[in-house]
Amino acid sequence: MTTTVPAPAAAGHAAAVSTSKPKVRRRARSERARAERRLGWMLCAPAVTVMLLVTAYPIGYAIYLSLHRYDLRFPTETTFIGLRNYGAVLGNRLWWQDLTSTLTITAISVVIELLLGFLLAYVMHRAIFGRGLVRSATLVPYGIITVVAAFAWRFAFDPATGFINGMLHTQRAWFTQQWSSYLVIVLTEVWKTTPFMSLLLLAGFTLVPDDVVKAARVDGATATQRLRKIIIPLMKPAILVAVLFRTLDAFRIFDAVFVQTRGAQGTETVSILGYNTMVSRLNLGLGSAVSVLIFACVLIISFVFVKGFGANLSQQRGEG
Amino acid sequence: MKHRSLSDRAFWGAGTILVVAYALVPIGWIVSLSLKPTANVADHKFLPSGATFANYRTIFKDPQFPAALRNSLGIALIATVLAVALAMFAAYAIVRLDFPGKTAVLSGALAIAMFPQVAIIGPLFNMWRSLHLFDTWPGLIIPYMTFTLPLAIWTLSAFFREIPWDLDKAARVDGATPFQAFRRVIAPLAAPGVFTSAILVFIFAWNDFLFATSLTSTNRARTVPAAIAFFTGASQFDFPTGQIAAASVVVTVPIILMVLIFQRRIVAGLTSGAVKG
């Protein structure tokens, strides 16, 4: 899940440099420019090649496979069947159920993370003492393996081994009902990724000039007004980017669900569905159709954020 | 800064304690669980009443966990070195050179950072079987390197942009050879950024579960997250809670130490580019 949130800054910078040169000694310059261009491409080539080979090629291959009946248990029966795999996936209740549960988990966790993350970022931004302590503590969940975090919470809620039931004086079997299974999964997600969210938001707090907030205070704005009318609008770019990244990250949720419920009680997510179809049931054709649909969902989510909410990655630098 | 009132201090103090508790409760719980004697595992208590290292002895006696630990370390370290090396070239070019396609590299990397990894496990599974990469170290190193390249390129570009590259020229004017100028001036300036991206890449590779569980099948290449998830007890009726907890502690402690020691760098790396590119 590790993703940093970058800002495409180099572009504007580069353009500014290349247009401001005078036209003297043009040939020598173009010679040098060509050499520079070649060196630039050469230095980027290895990284770009690797990224293309391991992502673009397999996704193309997935599209190809999704148009075929291709089951590793019956490899001789491989045939081109057009869009029938997509029909099978989209016509199946399981896909829609899994998509709903993925979106539910994503929406609930991202909303909670945003609120908690904002609070946490505010504590880090304002805290006068124990700032380092808070920051260290925040980074602990970030560093922990998701599978480990998922087990820790699973054991905590387990009716046999857990301390939660002992604490609440109940005998609840948390993983036998849908709402309580969701609760534990969302809790795991929130616990693990809120720190990341809060760090991104903390960076956003630096976009809010202190004197503007102070001036508003002098003018008589209440704390809520300052938050709603000044801090949040100024932080909007940072908030949007953080939410976009976390939404896409939460949408691919796999580890926690796999460890805690394996998709039981209607908690199966689309990633689990893809994994089960391809790796457990070895149906690569059908599984690839699921993959391509997941890919399409991610594109749609990004599109909605960028076009609908105006999430602008370059705005992050305050230049956009 | 002005003096804060007592209630203000109490408020922020409580907030700090709350945050620390939030972060540490699950860790404390898993440590406690790993130390509980088997008879006490189901005592519903947060703290262990008696402590034993039996679970740790068991996991290290079994061949599965030590093998997974070796695989995890080896694979994550190699992936880190490769990803950071490739990213260093690319980031240098992006920051220092002028060439068309620079923006495409950066936005392509961004797209890959958001890529749903589950979408390629089927094709990779099939390709790796025919290339004999299934259940091998390179079979995991390649995807880890790929999916951490964006992170490494972005982080390194952000750090490299802050380096006063002209110092290199100054050193050359003062009589340093190009190699000396690089080793004595540029390398020390670039090292913190390189180190930071290496930590972030390592954490990613160490954490991955999806590729590890899809592309491995035996102790040959199975890493710790996948191994833990497939731990089986002595008998099928006996779920190895204590052993899973012990294995979790073993793989968690080094990361926590690393995170605490290098916290400033990690924060800088994670937020690099978020505000200042």
**Can you tell me the mean pLDDT for A94-102?**
91
The string of pLDDT tens digits covering residues A116-174 is 999 888 887 776 667 778 888 888 898 899 999 999 999 888 888 878 887 787 777 87
Touching check for A296 and chain B: CB below 8 Å? no
Does B235 lie in the same domain as B125? yes
Contact A269, A108 (CB under 8 A): no
Structure tokens at A130: 């124990």
Average pLDDT across chain A, whole number: 82
A3, A55, A165 ranked by CB distance to B120: nearest: A55
Cα separations in angstroms, A25 against A18, A21, A22: 15, 11, 9
Contact B54, B37 (CB under 8 A): yes
Q: Would you state the pLDDT for residue B275?
A: 41
Three-state DSSP at B221 gives coil
Angle formed by the axes of helices A93-126 and B6-35, nearest 10°: 130
**B163 is a domain residue:** yes
3-state DSSP helix/strand/coil % of chain B, to nearest 5: 75, 0, 25
Cα separations in angstroms, B52 against A276, B36, B212: 38, 6, 31
Which residues from chain A sit within 8 angstroms of residue B89, using beta carbons? 43-44, 46-47
The string of pLDDT tens digits covering residues B102-115 is 888 888 888 888 78
Residue B73, pLDDT > 90, answer yes
Tell me whether residues B110 and A313 touch, CB distance under 8 A: yes
Q: Which of A7-16, A74-83, A223-232, B151-160 has the lowest mean pLDDT?
A: A7-16
B117, B161, B255 ranked by CB distance to A144: nearest: B255
The string of pLDDT tens digits covering residues A143-152 is 899 999 999 9
Q: Would you state the pLDDT for residue A1?
A: 43
CATH number of A93-317: 1.10.3720.10
Eight-state DSSP code of residue B274: T
Does B74 lie in the same domain as B36? no
Does B74 lie in the same domain as B44? no
Does B42 lie in the same domain as B113? no
* 166-225 in chain B: CB under 8 A from chain A: 200, 203-204, 206-207, 209-210, 213-214, 224-225
Does B159 lie in the same domain as B112? yes
Touching check for B112 and chain A: CB below 8 Å? yes
A6, A141, A270 ranked by CB distance to B273: nearest: A6
Does B126 lie in the same domain as B219? yes
**B277 is a domain residue:** no
Q: Would you state the pLDDT for residue A313?
A: 56
Does B84 lie in the same domain as B32? no
Boundary of a domain, candidates B52, B73, B92: B52
Does B87 lie in the same domain as B64? yes
**B224 is a domain residue:** yes
Residue B7, pLDDT > 90, answer no
Touching check for A65 and chain B: CB below 8 Å? yes
Does B144 lie in the same domain as B39? no
The string of pLDDT tens digits covering residues A22-47 is 555 666 678 888 888 888 898 899 99
Residue A195, min C-alpha distance to chain B (Å):
9
- Which residue of chain B comes nearest to A192, CA vs CA? B23
Touching check for B119 and chain A: CB below 8 Å? yes
> How many angstroms separate the CA atoms of A310 and A152, rounded?
38
Does B239 lie in the same domain as B255? yes
Structure tokens at A308: 């609908």
> How many angstroms separate the CA atoms of A269 and A182, rounded?
11
Domain that holds residue B200: 59-271
> How many angstroms separate the CA atoms of B2 and A305, rounded?
41
Touching check for B228 and chain A: CB below 8 Å? yes
In total, how many domains does chain B have? 2
pTM for the full model?
0.85
> How many angstroms separate the CA atoms of B94 and B157, rounded?
7
Q: Quickly state the pLDDT bin for A99 (edges 50, 70, 90).
A: very high
**Can you tell me the mean pLDDT for B187-210?**
88
Which residues from chain B sit within 8 angstroms of residue A165, using beta carbons? 44
Angle at A108 between CA A103 and CA A111, to 5 degrees: 120
Dihedral sign for Cα B164, B165, B169, B172, please.
positive
Contact B219, B64 (CB under 8 A): yes
Give the residue with greater pLDDT, B50 vs B211. Answer: B211
Tell me whether residues A50 and B125 touch, CB distance under 8 A: no
Which residues from chain B sit within 8 angstroms of residue A156, using beta carbons? 26, 29
Which residues from chain B sit within 8 angstroms of residue A32, using beta carbons? none
Residue A74, pLDDT > 70, answer yes
Residue A69, pLDDT > 70, answer yes
Residue B75, min C-alpha distance to chain A (Å):
15
Any idea what the CATH number is for the domain that residue B78 is in?
1.10.3720.10
**Can you tell me the mean pLDDT for B163-181?**
82
Which segment, A2-11, B49-58, B203-212, is predicted with the most confidence on average?
Answer: B203-212
Does B112 lie in the same domain as B41? no
**Can you tell me the mean pLDDT for B14-36?**
86
**Can you tell me the mean pLDDT for A238-262?**
88
Average pLDDT across chain B, whole number: 84
Q: Where are the domains of chain A?
A: 93-317
Residue B252, pLDDT > 80, answer yes
